[in-house]
């Protein structure tokens, strides 16, 4: 029974107001009191996220819908907000992760040294508020304003560490990418509103015959924000450069506003041509596989995680594509399963990727480096961080009993359903199954590498050896996220049921057939029972094997050497080499190796970099040509006021004469 959402919307508006006011207050206080500034910022973010989370959860479970509309003096604009199941669903991870990351940030930046905390909290709270506004907006102009505010706030957060040259460069790449995306979106909104002359979502109409082209434009615009291949180039630059809590929010939540845009566009436009569904499916598969392949080749922990965002957005898109195919071919079960899997993965990815980025931040906080090759043995030194990171790693690989399994499982079930249908649809299912399997396997390999090299073995540098567990304000958010990952994995059935109304908005008014819902407890119960049995069996075998032998503890991976050193361990690159070698043609890594020579080699070195293929082969040449082409107009740029005014005068004169003569 749909309920009225005015109380929820009121609470959400209050949260937006608190975020704005606390952000500005924190910025003002930042000049004279660091402590006041931090307290104001964190208090505002905390209160607003709690209120927003409560409103979103209540709105989703009560299936509340409603709109608020206030007049606005901007042409075509109106301050028109709406809450429905889709919006409420996207708001949940948004407020949850933003709140937890804010707690993390309060400890992460201490000591602030010469950084102004007011600058961080202003943009952080603005980012959270604008993301929420994007999800709530029901007017094209308001949506674009919120979208732009979100992009700018995140730009200032990416460049928060503005003394680092790479942070500044990453900021520019991000700024260019996000504005190119926004340009497509403006076109979409103008075209949608042209027929009715109104920018209200409810008044939008698709011009006859152009649904496919419109969807494509939207996919380009929203896909840039979501980080779909090959529009993902800003992700591996911006995420490592940003402070870790910001990376967590950007990767966990902000790129999901791109997914939200695609989903909202589907809901507003209604039917789209079949080829759009195929395109979405294909892009999802390509993003997923390439994302994880690139992740394998990285040795910067946060860059690795950034490529995993490309992969997971690919999985989400794969689910959406499957759902769209189900709608197009009129098979409700496939549609419902695909959309449910995609949407659930939005929530799941927010949780485990947020957790992993916070974990990477904790590692960087403790050791001062993100280079995997310089870490090692951290599990003994940072047990809580290590345990939380492990939970996130298991979840992102889609292994039970964590949450990643639940959403990927839904997509798998939907994909296998298509095999029952004949004709083209089965091909889509096949693509999805193969892609998912490949992604899952490679992701497991990648996190075996990441966790194994960073947390196990022996430290590879003095910084890693001297690491200590991070303060409680950093550990607590990670543990909460890990617990949530587990809880959603175990209670997946209930979560999927709560998702029903949001799925119905996309898949049409169908009830998800009982079979997949019933499958959950059975499958999960079986898997858990198997897992417990397997663990017990292994423990028993271990006991049997060790019985009556002497047990001795030694350093990890000492390989029987008399005097092992840390450099004898596997490196991250070495660990991933069998897999990256197989994908040599795609990754195109630069390798500089001086192999050991002779019987007693004196020195040897090995270096490898995997530059982004899309950037190296598509964007860099494109922008170089563009720069050369635009260079022809340099002579106009004299740098003298006289000339600029002359240009204006000439243009004015010509226009006036033209208007009067014709």
Partner 1 sequence: MSGVIEIILIFLILANLILLGASRLRNAIRIVAWQGLVLGLMPLLAHRDGLVWAAILLGAGSAGIKGFVFPALLNRALRETQASREIEPFVGYVLSLLAGVGVLALSVWFGSRLPLPWPPASNLLVPAGMFTVWTGLFLIVTRRKAITQVLGYVVLENGIFTLGMVLVEAMPLLVELGVLLDIFVAVFVMGIIVFNINREFDHIDSDQLAALKEGGP
Residue ranges that bind partner 1, judged by CB under 8 A: 634-635, 637-642, 645-646, 648-649, 656-657, 660
Cβ distance to partner 1 smaller for residue 164 or 646: 646
Q: At what angle do helices 332-367 and 255-269 cross, to 10 degrees?
A: 160
Residue with tokens 């630069």: 590
Task: Extract the tokens encoding 22.
Answer: 């606390």
Q: Taking the complex as a whole, how short is the minimal distance between the CB of residue 649 and partner 1, in angstroms? A: 5
Q: Taking the complex as a whole, how short is the minimal distance between the CB of residue 634 and partner 1, in angstroms? A: 6
Cβ distance to partner 1 smaller for residue 600 or 658: 658
Report the alpha-carbon angle 527-532-535, nearest 5.
120
Give Cα separations from 83 to 216, 260, 380, 504 (angstroms). Answer: 26, 13, 47, 15
- The gap from C-alpha 214 to its chain's centroid, in whole angstroms, comes to 24
Cβ distance to partner 1 smaller for residue 164 or 648: 648
Cβ distance to partner 1 smaller for residue 32 or 635: 635
Cβ distance to partner 1 smaller for residue 539 or 646: 646
Q: What are the phi and psi torsion angles at 575 (to 5°)?
A: -60, -40
Per-state percent for the chain, helix, strand, coil, to nearest 5: 75, 5, 20
Q: Taking the complex as a whole, how short is the minimal distance between the CB of residue 624 and partner 1, in angstroms? A: 16
Report the alpha-carbon angle 348-346-351, nearest 5.
35
d(C-alpha 66, C-alpha 591), whole Å: 58
d(C-alpha 37, C-alpha 39), whole Å: 6
Task: Extract the tokens encoding 529.
Answer: 């029972």
Q: Taking the complex as a whole, how short is the minimal distance between the CB of residue 615 and partner 1, in angstroms? A: 24
Q: Taking the complex as a whole, how short is the minimal distance between the CB of residue 662 and partner 1, in angstroms? A: 11
Cβ distance to partner 1 smaller for residue 584 or 643: 643
Question: Which of 479, 482, 476 is CA-nearest to residue 104?
Answer: 476
Cβ distance to partner 1 smaller for residue 164 or 652: 652
**Using an 8 Å Cβ cutoff, are 297 and 448 in contact?**
no
Q: Taking the complex as a whole, how short is the minimal distance between the CB of residue 656 and partner 1, in angstroms? A: 7
Task: Extract the tokens encoding 235.
Answer: 């992700």
Question: Which of 135, 52, 121, 49 is CA-nearest to residue 86?
Answer: 135
H-run or E-run covering 68: strand 66-71
Cβ distance to partner 1 smaller for residue 513 or 638: 638
Q: Taking the complex as a whole, how short is the minimal distance between the CB of residue 452 and partner 1, in angstroms? A: 48
**Using an 8 Å Cβ cutoff, are 590 and 611 in contact?**
yes
Cβ distance to partner 1 smaller for residue 1 or 641: 641
Give Cα separations from 287 to 36, 295, 314, 400 (angstroms). Answer: 44, 12, 5, 23
Q: What's the DSSP call for residue 609? A: E
Cβ distance to partner 1 smaller for residue 593 or 660: 660
* Residues recorded for the chain: 662
Q: Taking the complex as a whole, how short is the minimal distance between the CB of residue 165 and partner 1, in angstroms? A: 18
Q: Taking the complex as a whole, how short is the minimal distance between the CB of residue 660 and partner 1, in angstroms? A: 5
Cβ distance to partner 1 smaller for residue 420 or 657: 657
d(C-alpha 166, C-alpha 476), whole Å: 30
| CB neighbours of residue 67 within 10 Å | 17
Q: What's the DSSP call for residue 421? A: S
Cβ distance to partner 1 smaller for residue 584 or 647: 647
Cα first-last separation, the chain: 63
Q: Taking the complex as a whole, how short is the minimal distance between the CB of residue 642 and partner 1, in angstroms? A: 5
Q: Helices H, strands E: what count in the chain?
A: 26, 4
Q: Taking the complex as a whole, how short is the minimal distance between the CB of residue 643 and partner 1, in angstroms? A: 8
Q: Taking the complex as a whole, how short is the minimal distance between the CB of residue 635 and partner 1, in angstroms? A: 8
d(C-alpha 325, C-alpha 265), whole Å: 16
């Amino acid at each position: 029974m749909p309920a009225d959402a005015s109380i929820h919307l009121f609470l959400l508006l209050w949260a937006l107001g608190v975020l704005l006011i606390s952000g500005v207050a924190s910025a003002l206080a930042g000049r004279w009191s660091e402590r006041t500034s931090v307290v104001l910022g964190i208090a505002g973010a905390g209160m607003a996220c709690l209120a927003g989370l409560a409103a979103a959860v209540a709105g989703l479970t009560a299936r509340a819908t409603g709109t608020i509309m206030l007049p606005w003096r901007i042409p075509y604009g109106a301050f028109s907000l709406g809450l429905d199941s889709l919006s409420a669903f996207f708001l949940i991870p948004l407020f949850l992760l933003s709140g937890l990351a804010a707690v993390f940030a309060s400890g992460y930046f201490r000591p602030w040294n010469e950084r102004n905390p007011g600058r961080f909290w202003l943009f952080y709270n603005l980012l959270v508020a604008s993301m929420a506004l994007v999800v709530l907006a029901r007017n094209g102009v308001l949506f674009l304003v919120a979208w732009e505010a979100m992009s700018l706030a995140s730009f200032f957060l990416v460049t928060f560490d503005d003394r680092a040259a790479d942070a500044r460069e990453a900021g520019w790449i991000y700024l260019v990418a996000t504005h190119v995306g926004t340009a497509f979106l403006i076109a979409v909104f103008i075209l949608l509103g042209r027929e009715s002359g109104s920018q209200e979502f409810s008044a939008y109409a698709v011009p006859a015959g152009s649904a496919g082209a419109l969807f494509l434009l939207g996919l380009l615009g929203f896909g840039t924000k979501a980080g779909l291949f090959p529009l993902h180039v800003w992700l591996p630059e911006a995420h490592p450069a940003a402070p870790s809590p910001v990376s967590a929010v950007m990767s966990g939540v902000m790129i999901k506003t791109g997914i939200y845009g695609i989903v909202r566009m589907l809901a507003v436009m209604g039917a789209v041509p079949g080829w759009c569904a195929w395109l979405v499916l294909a892009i999802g598969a390509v993003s997923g596989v390439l994302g994880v392949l690139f992740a394998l080749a990285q040795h910067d922990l946060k860059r690795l995680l950034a490529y995993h965002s490309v992969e997971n957005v690919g999985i989400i898109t794969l689910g959406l594509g499957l759902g769209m195919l189900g709608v197009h071919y009129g098979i409700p079960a496939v549609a419902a399963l695909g959309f449910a899997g995609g949407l659930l993965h939005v929530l799941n990815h927010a949780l485990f990727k947020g957790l992993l980025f916070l974990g990477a931040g904790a590692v960087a906080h403790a050791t001062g480096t993100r280079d995997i090759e310089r870490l090692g043995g951290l599990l003994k030194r940072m047990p809580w961080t290590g345990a939380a990171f492990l939970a996130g790693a298991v979840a992102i690989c889609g292994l039970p009993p964590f949450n990643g399994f639940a959403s990927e499982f839904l997509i798998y079930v939907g994909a296998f359903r298509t095999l029952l249908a004949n004709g083209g649809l089965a091909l889509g299912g096949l693509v999805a199954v193969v892609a998912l399997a490949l992604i899952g396997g490679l992701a497991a390999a990648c996190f075996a590498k990441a966790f194994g090299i960073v947390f196990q073995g022996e430290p590879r540098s003095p910084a890693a050896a001297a690491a200590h567990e991070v303060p409680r304000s950093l550990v607590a958010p990670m543990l909460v996220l890990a617990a949530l990952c587990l809880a959603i994995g175990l209670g997946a059935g209930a979560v999927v049921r709560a998702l029903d109304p949001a799925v119905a908005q996309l898949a049409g008014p169908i009830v998800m057939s009982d079979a997949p819902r019933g499958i959950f407890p059975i499958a999960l119960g079986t898997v858990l029972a198997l897992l417990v049995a397997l663990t017990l069996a292994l423990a028993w075998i271990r006991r049997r094997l060790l019985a009556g032998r002497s047990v001795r503890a030694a350093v990890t991976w000492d390989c029987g050497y008399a005097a092992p050193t840390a450099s004898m361990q596997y490196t991250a690159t070495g660990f991933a080499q069998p897999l990256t070698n197989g994908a040599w043609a795609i990754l195109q890594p630069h390798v500089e190796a001086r192999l050991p020579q002779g019987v007693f080699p004196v020195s040897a070195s090995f270096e490898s970099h995997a530059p982004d293929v899309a950037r190296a082969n598509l964007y860099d040449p494109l922008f170089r040509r563009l720069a050369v082409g635009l260079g022809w107009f340099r002579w106009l740029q004299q740098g003298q006021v006289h000339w600029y005014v002359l240009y204006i005068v000439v243009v004015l004169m010509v226009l006036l004469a033209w208007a009067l003569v014709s």
